[in-house]
A and B are shown apart, each in its own frame.
Chain A
Amino acid sequence: MKNEIIKIENLSFDYGDHRVLENINLNIYNDDFIGIIGPNGSGKSTLLKIILGLLTPTEGRVFLFNKSPKEGRKYVGYVPQYAHIDRNFPISVGQVVLSGRIGHTDFLRRYSKIDMDIAENAMKIMGISDLKNTQIGKLSGGQFQRTLIARALSTEPKLLLLDEPTANIDIQAETNFYDFLHKLSEKMAIVLVTHDTGAISSHVKTICCINKTLYYHGEKSISLDVFEKLYGCPVELIGHGIPHRVLKEHED
């Protein structure tokens, strides 16, 4: 069954006088594994925040699981850019993952046995069970990344939403990371947002290019023209360490 989980209609967004997003229409389905790509300052992070109900669009409408973003986001496992998180914070891997259950707790915000089991399971899926009592500052980039995904998984999401997931992790961790995502994509929709065009394109099923407005949405084999329009200059489509060329060759 193909269900629409994100529906964006004629969306525009202004920061003060500055138009960041213009007239975006986009539908994402429950079996999608989609990469939203765009250069820095293209508005893709803003789009993500609107989908999550953290910002309200200036014009247009957004539906998340046929509800408003604020209601629909309880089905979303959000993995923020981890540069935004303070690694010195006195908290262990287990506590971070368990905090994914915070939206499901009672009025005193206590975690039940079920919550703890779900968190344990999420750590097992991500292979970080043995790091449960480790403080997050002592983790490698890849391990911390997996901790944040485990936290998102413990919300029991129908959609996993990742913001710049491969920034700051090495190539090996990155390859493992995409293997994980592939497995997860059988169970839930995955949307990831990145400016890293090379790495992403060999892993996701479809891509969506944004620079203020939506330039392209579809199969990942897209022409160089589209990319050049998107980035405003010629770009190298192949990321370092990616062995095969996925995007179409430029035809002269």
Chain B
Amino acid sequence: MVFQYAFFQNAVIAGILAAIACGIIGSYVVVKRLVFISGGISHAAFGGIGLGLFLGYNPLFTAIIFSVISSSILGVISKKTYQREDTLIGAMWAIGMAFGIFMIYMTPGYVTDLSSYLFGNILTVSRIDIYTMIFLNAIIVLIIFIRYNEFLAFSFDEEFSEVANVPVMKTYIILLSLVALTVVVLVSVVGIILAMALLTLPAATASLFTNSLKKMIALSTLIGISYMLLGIGMSFLLNQPSGATIVLVSGTSYLGILSIKSLINK
């Protein structure tokens, strides 16, 4: 049986860990409409991967630092300047990726697994990757758990929260940093480019069935796990790349459920 192989076990564990991070943070991305800025953060994270490969460190570690810093900068400038926010995000998006490519071409020798960072390869997930993912998940769960009410008030009505003296800038930066950490969790599963799909699709599916943020988080985690397992299974059976298969499974499931639901509600 395929389950006996360590690589397959790692793939399943990685898929579940990624689904947990996506279930929690993806819910905020969807309800707070952070989809575009999350796209910027995830693509900018490629700069961190390039830096890691160039310096000879584990690219996931450098991606953590790089993307948390870039998301914080993005958060501050998007709030503090009168510049159009989407223009800044677009710039960060491209600069981050370009920097990553630049660093990779500066790296001596041939970088073999470039495409696995871009599109993910869940079957090559290592033990260290798993531990990193557990650590990042723990941070995400802990912060959201202890500041749940603050994140809820902030996400629902930022202006009112500011008047109530909630430190909105700090909360926003923490939320964007958690998006950055989620992107890093997703790198080995679906890669930088496809990370957006898993940040949005499970949460968007869950939002069709619930009117409470807490239930949305729980439900989108479960839905995310189902998408992951289904995707991993299908990629193995069809011998297709895991990241793309997971995203296609998630996307078609979401669209399917959405159309069934709107037909019923008619």
Residues of A within 8 A of B (CB): 15-16, 52-54, 70, 73-74, 76, 78, 80, 84-86, 89-92, 95-96, 99-100, 102-103, 105, 108-111, 135, 137, 151, 155
Contact = CB atoms under 8 A, between A and B. Distances in A.
A92 B211 contact: yes
Nearest to A76: B163
B121 interface: no
A102 B150 contact: yes
A186 to B, nearest CB: 24
B209 to A, nearest CB: 10
User: Which 8 pairs across A and B sit closest by C-beta, in order of nearness?
Assistant: A103-B164, A135-B211, A99-B153, A109-B149, A109-B150, A102-B153, A78-B163, A103-B165
Contact of A15 (B82, B157, B210): B82
Interface in B141-183: 146-150, 152-153, 155-157, 159-166
Contact of A96 (B148, B156, B207): B156
Contacts of A16: 82
B212 interface: yes
A84 B149 contact: no
Given A73-B163, A105-B149, A99 B212 contact: no
A103 B150 CA distance: 9
B176 to A, nearest CB: 19
B152 A95 contact: yes
B159 A80 contact: yes
B207 A90 contact: yes
Given A90-B211, A99-B149, 16 more contacts: A15-B82, A54-B159, A54-B163, A73-B165, A78-B159, A78-B163, A80-B157, A80-B160, A86-B31, A91-B156, A91-B212, A92-B211, A99-B157, A108-B146, A108-B147, A109-B149
B164 A102 contact: yes
Contact of B157 (A52, A85, A103): A85
Contacts of A102: 149-150, 153, 161, 164, 166
A155 B164 contact: yes
Nearest to A52: B163
B85 to A, nearest CB: 16
A90 B165 contact: no
Nearest to A71: B165
B34 interface: no
Contacts of A91: 152, 156, 211-213
30 contacts: A15-B82, A70-B165, A73-B163, A74-B164, A76-B163, A78-B163, A80-B157, A84-B159, A85-B157, A86-B31, A86-B156, A89-B31, A90-B31, A90-B213, A91-B152, A91-B156, A91-B211, A92-B211, A95-B152, A100-B164, A102-B150, A102-B153, A102-B161, A102-B164, A109-B146, A109-B147, A109-B150, A111-B149, A135-B211, A135-B212
Interface in B43-67: none
